[in-house]
């Protein structure tokens, strides 16, 4: 694992009078997998959007230790955000066609290569609606990977999937992180399943990171306030709705 960190300092965001992120500090080791957990509507996706620049934070900074430059970062959306009128190939090639310096042939080779690595070579000319949900996730991942980002932000990548597919998506993220060596910052509700693939867990609550540690530490001695979240029961969760 790299000794460099993605350093987040004093990240704050409020909507009107509601404080969503309250001066968040995080040190995320590069090339690791960090998962942010927390109750629904607590601001996990807002945190990712502030880091990616989709939302403008009210205050705070994001940098990499030893460097002022934040490495290139991609974002994988909950619902994949694929362009339904573009084919799989066109979706994945989009960032290269619109921004990169590559020629037609080079784009074709690069996209074909990544689609092959993600086992999508047979879906090249299909539209997103013509492929399965799992394949759509892989296409979204291919699009996120095509520009060679060092960090990928995953916003609840397993939402709406059955347990089997959930595990295949987690497995896909683990395998491709090992293969491509990118940093993962993920928001997930899938506790404790997500602990199988993550290196660090951050628990976001009331705008602050209340817990930061490895899944092993978390499961062996969870802080008392996290107990209910990790082991929900009908009695304890009655009031939370």
Partner 1 sequence: MITRLGRKGIDVVTELGEVTLFGLSSAGSLFSQRRLFEKLIRSIYEIGVRCVPITLIVGLFTGLVLGLQLYYVLTKFSSESLLGQAVALSIIMEIGPVFTAIMIVGQAGSALSAEIGIQRNAEQIDALKTMNINAKGFLVSPRLYAALICFPILTAFFDIVGIFGGHLTGVELLGVDGGAYWNRIYESVSLTNIRDGFIKALVFGILTTLICAFQGYFTHVKASVPGARGVSETTTRAVVLSSIVILASDYLITSFLLEK
Question: Which residues are near partner 1 by CB under 8 A?
Answer: 52-54, 73-75, 77-79, 81-84, 94-95, 97-99, 143, 147
Please confirm whether the linkage preceding 223 is cis (ω < 30° from 0).
Answer: no
**Which lies closer to partner 1 via its Cβ, residue 76 or residue 201?**
76
3-state secondary structure of 168: helix
Contact status, residue 69 vs residue 4, Cβ threshold 8 Å: no
Minimum distance, C-beta of residue 186 to partner 1, in the bound complex (Å): 15
Q: How far is CA 196 from CA 102, 123, 167, 210, 215, in A?
A: 38, 30, 10, 21, 8
Least distance to partner 1 from the beta carbon of 50, Å? 13
CB of 81 to partner 1, least distance (A): 4
- Cα torsion at 211, 216, 219, 222 (round to 10°)? -30
CB of 99 or CB of 164, closer to partner 1: 99
CB of 77 to partner 1, least distance (A): 5
The residue among 48 and 191 lying less far from partner 1, judged by its C-beta, is 48
User: Could you give the CA distance from residue 64 to residue 7 in angstroms, rounded to a whole number?
Assistant: 5
Q: Which of 63, 80 has the CB closer to partner 1? A: 80
Report, in Å, the least distance between residue 207 CB and partner 1.
Answer: 22
CB closer to partner 1, 52 vs 228? 52
Q: CA of 178: how far to CAs of 32, 73, 146, in Å?
A: 10, 17, 16
162 CB-contact burial (10 Å; exposed 0-12 / middle 13-18 / buried 19+): exposed
Closest CA to 13 of 70, 52, 64: 52
Two tokens, residue 181: 């060596």
Smaller CB separation from partner 1, 52 or 168: 52
CB of 19 vs partner 1, minimal distance in Å: 21
């Amino acid at each position: 694992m790299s000794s460099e960190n993605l350093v987040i300092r004093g990240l704050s965001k409020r909507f009107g009078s509601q404080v969503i992120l309250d001066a968040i500090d995080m040190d995320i080791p590069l090339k690791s997998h960090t998962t942010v957990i927390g109750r629904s509507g607590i601001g996990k996706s807002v945190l990712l959007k502030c880091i990616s620049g989709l939302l403008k934070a009210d205050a705070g900074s994001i940098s990499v230790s030893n460097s002022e430059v934040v490495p290139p970062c991609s974002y994988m959306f909950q619902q994949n955000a694929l362009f339904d009128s573009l084919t799989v190939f066109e979706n994945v090639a989009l960032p290269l066609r619109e921004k990169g310096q590559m020629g037609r042939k080079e784009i074709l080779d690069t996209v074909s290569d990544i689609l092959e690595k993600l086992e999508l070579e047979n879906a090249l000319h299909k539209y997103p609606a013509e492929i399965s949900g799992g394949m759509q996730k892989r296409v979204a991942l291919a699009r996120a990977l095509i520009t060679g980002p060092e960090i990928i932000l995953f916003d609840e990548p397993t939402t709406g999937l059955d347990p089997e597919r959930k595990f295949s998506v987690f497995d896909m993220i683990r395998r491709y992180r090992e293969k491509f060596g990118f940093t993962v910052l993920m928001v997930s509700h899938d506790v404790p399943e997500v602990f199988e693939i993550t290196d660090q867990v951050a628990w976001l609550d009331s705008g602050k990171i209340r817990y930061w540690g490895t899944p092993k530490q978390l499961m062996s001695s969870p802080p008392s306030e996290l107990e209910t979240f990790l082991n929900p029961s009908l009695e304890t969760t009655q009031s939370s709705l």
